[in-house]
Amino acid sequence: RPILGIESSCDDSAAALVRGREVLASVVVGQGRLHAAFGGVVPEIAARAHAETLDAVVRRALGEAGMDLRGVGAVAVTSGPGLIGGVLAGVMTAKGIAAGTGLPMIGVNHLAGHALTPRLTDGLAFPYLMLLVSGGHCQFLIVRGPDAFTRLGGTIDDAPGEAFDKVARILGLPQPGGPSVEAASADGDPARFAFPRPLLDRPGCDMSFSGLKTAVLRQRDALVAEQGGLWRQDRADLCAGFQRAVRDVLAEKARRALAIYMEDAPGEPAMAVAGGVAANGPLRAALQDVAAAAGARFCAPPLALCTDNAAMIAFAGQELMASGHRSGLDLAARPRWPLDAGAAPMLGYGR
Ligand code: ATP
Ligand code: FE
């Protein structure tokens, strides 16, 4: 029977029904408008909205799948990491359903949901390399099993999506910044401004993006001081230069992560990418080239399953339950929950 997934860790209230690799329904209700005036997600507003919306979102998903709770086999819910009020709203909803129906329940790590998505969409076999690149996260993971991840490196400050959003704000472009910066880059000259390639000179897979955003801010201020304002072409060139720098850093670090992963990867190597920034055309193309050059398969799930959704939570819950994990009604909501607990299996399941 299908598994019901619930997701509410950031600013999307989502519910989905998944059976095997089949997505029967996936409903995502964003809160973008509620937070628009504040220039970022306001945790208290998000929590309240999740608490008010989740029941209806679950009902809608059941309706789209043409079933009611009696047809469901289990409940999977994001129990962290994320904004704690929102995570709590999801966990309480799941507990209510589990307590009322007697269905088994599993708490799922949100990042594991993203990281396991290529198995849902493309049936990738373990182990594969995963680049998670979104508004809140940026890391390379070797995905060895539903509860076994090795982190190879990640950002030491901002996530790339956050940097795209800040650059858009600096240049007066609309939010979310990723798509508007990519569009503005189209007729820009990426070589006009010399932006840094942070941490490229250092070994390993760690990255940094906050200095890049500051470099754009400085360049903007210099242009404004010089010309009294920004021309359309200036914006295009700033965007193109910034986007090229992000692309170069991610591509080079992906090359290194792929080499580390392939050293001990049996079978056919594969690199997957997920998160909102994976929508970026030039970045996707560069990562595809990196994979091709190394002889690895490249996998980028469709955008609706790359960004926050509940299908990935239902699917991850299904995989975890298949390997023996269950949560009790004492399941805790966790604001922080790293995927990689060293050599030990992932912390927290079964509680
Ligand atoms: P998380 O899922 O890590 O909690 P999030 O909800 O902000 O964070 P997503 O919804 O996966 O992440 O992605 C949103 C981010 O992706 C935003 O920062 C947005 O600017 C960025 N983004 C979207 N499209 C593009 C694009 N074409 N190029 C670059 N960045 C993009
Ligand atoms: Fe996410």
Assess whether pLDDT exceeds 70 at residue 32: yes
Q: What is the pTM of this model?
A: 0.92
**Residue 121's pLDDT band (cuts 50, 70, 90):** very high
Residue type, 172: G
CA–CA distance, 80 with 84 (Å, rounded to integer): 8
Please choose, from the candidates 116, 155, 164, the residue with its C-alpha nearest in 3D space to the C-alpha of residue 282.
164
Percent pLDDT > 70 in the chain is 97
Residue 151 CB neighbour total at 10 angstroms: 17
pLDDT digits (tens, 9 = 90+) for 156-173: 999 999 999 999 999 999
Measured in angstroms, how far is the CA atom of residue 350 from the centroid of ligand 1? 31
Report whether the peptide linkage leading into residue 176 is cis, meaning its omega lies within 30 degrees of zero: yes
Closest-lying ligand to the alpha carbon of 312?
A: 2
Residue type, 225: A
CA–CA distance, 271 with 205 (Å, rounded to integer): 15
ipTM over 0.95: yes
Place of tokens 């240049």: 171
Residue 274 CA: nearest ligand 1 atom is: 11
pLDDT digits (tens, 9 = 90+) for 269-324: 999 999 899 999 999 999 999 999 999 999 999 989 988 999 999 999 999 999 99
Q: Kindly state the tokens that stand for 284.
A: 């996707």
Is 75 one of the annotated binding-site residues? no
Is 141 one of the annotated binding-site residues? no
Measured in angstroms, how far is the CA atom of residue 276 from the centroid of ligand 1? 3
Residue 136 CA: nearest ligand 1 atom is: 3
CA–CA distance, 57 with 47 (Å, rounded to integer): 15
CA 267 distance to own-chain centroid: 26
Helix (H) or strand (E) holding 189: none
CA–CA distance, 239 with 152 (Å, rounded to integer): 29
Assess whether pLDDT exceeds 80 at residue 153: yes
Helix (H, G, I), strand (E, B) or coil at 152: strand
By the 8 A CB rule, do 78 and 87 touch? yes
Q: Kindly state the tokens that stand for 88.
A: 């709590």
Closest-lying ligand to the alpha carbon of 276?
A: 1
What pLDDT shows up at residue 340? 79
Helix (H, G, I), strand (E, B) or coil at 21: coil
Instruction: Note the helical H segments in the chain.
Output: 32-35, 43-65, 84-101, 110-122, 160-170, 177-185, 210-227, 232-263, 281-294, 303-306, 311-322
CA–CA distance, 304 with 200 (Å, rounded to integer): 31
**Residue 338's pLDDT band (cuts 50, 70, 90):** confident
Assess whether pLDDT exceeds 80 at residue 347: no
**Residue 344's pLDDT band (cuts 50, 70, 90):** very low
Q: Kindly state the tokens that stand for 317.
A: 């819950």
- Mutational pocket test of ligand 1: of 307, 312, 339, the residue with most ligand atoms within 8 Å of the beta carbon: 307
pLDDT digits (tens, 9 = 90+) for 261-283: 999 877 899 999 998 999 999 99
pLDDT digits (tens, 9 = 90+) for 51-102: 999 999 999 999 999 999 999 999 999 999 999 999 999 999 999 999 999 9
Is 108 one of the annotated binding-site residues? no
32 burial class (0-12, 13-18, 19+ CB within 10 angstroms)? Answer: exposed
Is 309 one of the annotated binding-site residues? no
Assess whether pLDDT exceeds 80 at residue 350: no
Is 134 one of the annotated binding-site residues? yes
Measured in angstroms, how far is the CA atom of residue 300 from the centroid of ligand 2? 15
Measured in angstroms, how far is the CA atom of residue 59 from the centroid of ligand 1? 27
Ligand 1 surroundings by CB, under 6 angstroms = 10, 134-137, 161-162, 164-165, 176-179, 182, 275-277, 279-280, 307-308
Please choose, from the candidates 126, 174, 164, the residue with its C-alpha nearest in 3D space to the C-alpha of residue 147.
126
At residue 341, φ and ψ (nearest 5 deg) are: -100, 40
Measured in angstroms, how far is the CA atom of residue 110 from the centroid of ligand 1? 15
Mean of per-residue pLDDT scores for the chain:
93
Residue 210: C-alpha distances to residues 43, 111, 164, 167, 214 (Å): 23, 22, 10, 10, 6
What pLDDT shows up at residue 351? 37
